Structure 1
């Protein structure tokens, strides 16, 4: 209930304060407006925003502040932290954007370029920018002072530390985006210098310099803050940092591969006889070449930093898993590019055999063949370089190979590719059968042969894709099953019960389903202490009810047991209540114990069990209903682009 109240108070305060800020900006700008009618309308809108926003803000901000001063939990709540850092973003980013607009117009004036060449603030004047900067700056200063006071009163608040981490990385991404965009534009100007001198395309240089001047200081300042914060172990080990580094590295990969493919396409066209002067060729590839250089720097810097971060982790399955995620993503990109390139090459060859060029003359040869070869040249080496080490790792018969075969990322990769192969096989086979049945019924289309060849080639490729990865999956399962059985056989389990029926029966059944190779010994408590060989077993399982009623000698034996001791909380009895659960039914407790034993036998840390509420399930269902149409739309767009 308190969380809902916090969300309400701070959300309304945030929105109303933004209304006030832009109302003040509008009122100040109206004082400098030239047109009387426009100024009156602008003034009316600004005053109405202020008159509505001020009371709403005060009615919600004052109670929020009062509760924060009285209660430390309120003062250090995550909602309050998000409110403050969100307001700083909502005020400082407009300041940065207005500074960007001023710098942009300055460079346009330096190069004697018209105002329409500006990429930001086209219809703004310098007073407009200064007013927005001052108003946002005043609010940002107030927010910063309140935030600093909260930091002084609660310097070790984890919620504020985590939110500040997000705040810094957002600024890093903002500054880096401007830096990369500016670098691309400046390089594009340099590579197309023959066309830019004396023309309006000099705006590329003006806009590029603007982005560099604004982006470099922002990126350097906040990235330095991020790097200095790594003295804290929590910052060094944060998941957000690794996610950001991985995303930036992958963006760099994509930003290198795509322009490289475009450049290679042009190179192959030159090889196949397209007339090009060096200047014309350089102008043609100026955009992809500029992008390749900028993204190459991004990939080199953040990719290397990601590798350093991963190597910093102690040697463990977790470090290997992080490497695996990155390599499988690269392998997937390389596989996709290779598949598209081979399909394009096959359709080109079939059209050449059928003498059905879609573009007449030399352009047909130069464009389609060049694009196909360029895609293969870019994608195939990437896939081979990343996939072969992954295959070698999965074929190892030691512990690292076992972890590689059973890793979630490998399973996702293989099943995703197999799913793509199955769906592609269905699609291409259906399209091929449609053409053949139409022909049998006497309704042959004009491009019948070309479509049949194209669908046949696509069908063969999808079948090959599916078969290769299905074979890899079967090999993984075979090796993993043998390794698991060997692990299970070395993990004997002792179950302490008062009777064979009930929990013992449920547990042995659950273990037989989950991990059939684990040796299970059931011992009746009334028969006396377990034998000496039982003390050397890897785990002992007992229910909470039996544990509370153990004889003293048994309790001593359990306390001195050297292996894993697993207690299953069963339904409440004798007034005992479990804080984390109301107690489990015997069958559910047995299933969870079997899952835990399987994880321990496999050398993994058992995952914590969480009871999922009906409300959370409803949210998952709603998210799926909303996300599925979006996912299908994205897939449809990609397929439309490819085919």
Structure 2
């Protein structure tokens, strides 16, 4: 029984990876030709042949083995509740979730650059959008499959632990994207306000910061809401992983907030002591403190919020 499950889900995972690689790169090649852009790969025909072959192999192999897995799950409740099945589902969710976030961030960055007039790279927008759509579709399918399994067979023990690893891992990733994106965006806005010579130009960090923050907001917001709903919230409230991710996020926020405060204190004390260019700063001191000030503001707010969340869970 275990050997059969191992075989089915290992083959399904490997072939699904092939399918995703093939689909994403086939779409990328087609979009490059559509936009008459410089292709990522030297020979488009060779790309079609190579990634077409990967897709043609991956699709039927994954389809057959996943059909077998689904048929067994419908017939046997133990099969649906097995830890190996949940391992496959949550591993796929984690991989496609992270990849979707990366592609979505790229799409938002290029789109924001286009709207702000700092970029007109249409092919990059299209490529990132295609990758996001493909990966999100597979993520959504497996997410719904896992939800159906939980409803029918329940989730406890190792299966629940696997779900927590996925949920709180993506929660931390989303929070990191959100906080660092917000910090960088605040820094850039500060610089634009205090230095009249600064403008949003091609290569500016503003689109990148906006994309990172928005991606993090979606990933973090979704997983926070999902893990806060019953019955997951009640089941996870006393879990070690939930507490660990909270304290890891708290420790990082505290450390970064204190580091930013120490930098601000350094600049202030240096100016009081008559140092014209503390830390080798050659320009306006208000521009130099933009980074530390943004760090203090963003991560201090995170510090307060995470502490409240931990207090609520206690």
Cα separation, partners in 2 of 1:84 and 1:231, compared to 1, 3 Å = closer
Residue 283 of structure 1 is matched in structure 2 by 287
1:244 pairs with 2:245: yes
1:73 pairs with 2:78: yes
- State how 1:553-632 maps to structure 2 within 5 Å: none
Return the alpha-carbon distance in structure 1 between the equivalents of residues 145 and 309 of structure 2: 35
CA contact (8 A) 1:182 1:212 kept: yes
User: For each residue in 1:332-358, what CA deviation from the matched residue of structure 2 results, as whole angstroms up to 9, or x when unmatched?
Assistant: xxxxxxxxxxxxxxxxxxxxxxxxxxx
CA contact (8 A) 1:77 1:159 kept: no
Q: CA deviation at 1:244?
A: 1.0
Cα separation, partners in 2 of 1:69 and 1:90, compared to 1, 3 Å = same
Cα separation, partners in 2 of 1:214 and 1:140, compared to 1, 3 Å = closer
- CA RMSD, 1 decimal: 3.1
CA contact (8 A) 2:185 2:209 kept: yes
CA contact (8 A) 2:184 2:294 kept: yes
CA contact (8 A) 2:19 2:58 kept: yes
Any gaps of 5 or more consecutive residues in structure 1? Answer: 116-121, 313-643
Return the alpha-carbon distance in structure 2 between the equivalents of residues 298 and 20 of structure 1: 39
1:300 pairs with 2:304: yes
1:54 pairs with 2:59: yes
CA contact (8 A) 2:256 2:296 kept: yes
Residue 322 of structure 1 is matched in structure 2 by none
CA contact (8 A) 1:192 1:286 kept: yes
Q: CA deviation at 1:8?
A: 4.1
User: For each residue in 1:204-254, what CA deviation from the matched residue of structure 2 results, as whole angstroms up to 9, or x when unmatched?
Assistant: 322222223332233223212222347854322111111111111111121
User: For each residue in 1:375-412, what CA deviation from the matched residue of structure 2 results, as whole angstroms up to 9, or x when unmatched?
Assistant: xxxxxxxxxxxxxxxxxxxxxxxxxxxxxxxxxxxxxx
Cα separation, partners in 2 of 1:209 and 1:59, compared to 1, 3 Å = closer
Q: 1:47 aligns to what SS in structure 2? A: helix
Residue 167 of structure 1 is matched in structure 2 by 166
- State how 1:203-222 maps to structure 2 within 5 Å: 203-222=204-223
Q: CA deviation at 1:100?
A: 2.3
Cα separation, partners in 2 of 1:201 and 1:283, compared to 1, 3 Å = farther
- Runs of 4 or more consecutive aligned structure 1 residues displaced over 6 Å after TM superposition: none
1:84 pairs with 2:89: yes
The aligned length equals 303
User: For each residue in 1:123-182, what CA deviation from the matched residue of structure 2 results, as whole angstroms up to 9, or x when unmatched?
Assistant: 952332333233334433443453344234213555444433333223322321221122
Cα separation, partners in 2 of 1:237 and 1:144, compared to 1, 3 Å = closer
Q: 2:45 aligns with which of 21, 40, 44?
A: 40
User: For each residue in 1:592-630, what CA deviation from the matched residue of structure 2 results, as whole angstroms up to 9, or x when unmatched?
Assistant: xxxxxxxxxxxxxxxxxxxxxxxxxxxxxxxxxxxxxxx
Return the alpha-carbon distance in structure 2 between the equivalents of residues 4 and 298 of structure 1: 46
- State how 1:180-199 maps to structure 2 within 5 Å: 180-193=179-192, 194=195, 197-198=198-199
1:257 pairs with 2:258: yes
User: For each residue in 1:467-521, what CA deviation from the matched residue of structure 2 results, as whole angstroms up to 9, or x when unmatched?
Assistant: xxxxxxxxxxxxxxxxxxxxxxxxxxxxxxxxxxxxxxxxxxxxxxxxxxxxxxx
CA contact (8 A) 2:119 2:202 kept: no
Return the alpha-carbon distance in structure 2 between the equivalents of residues 201 and 136 of structure 1: 29
Higher relative contact order (CA 8 A, sep 6+): 2
Residue 151 of structure 1 is matched in structure 2 by 150
CA contact (8 A) 2:110 2:124 kept: no
CA contact (8 A) 1:182 1:210 kept: yes
User: For each residue in 1:440-462, what CA deviation from the matched residue of structure 2 results, as whole angstroms up to 9, or x when unmatched?
Assistant: xxxxxxxxxxxxxxxxxxxxxxx
Cα separation, partners in 2 of 1:16 and 1:123, compared to 1, 3 Å = farther
Structure of higher CA gyration radius: 1
TM-score, scaled to structure 2: 0.82
CA contact (8 A) 2:101 2:219 kept: no
Return the alpha-carbon distance in structure 1 between the equivalents of residues 249 and 123 of structure 2: 33
Return the alpha-carbon distance in structure 2 between the equivalents of residues 62 and 82 of structure 1: 17
1:266 pairs with 2:270: no
Cα separation, partners in 2 of 1:31 and 1:185, compared to 1, 3 Å = same
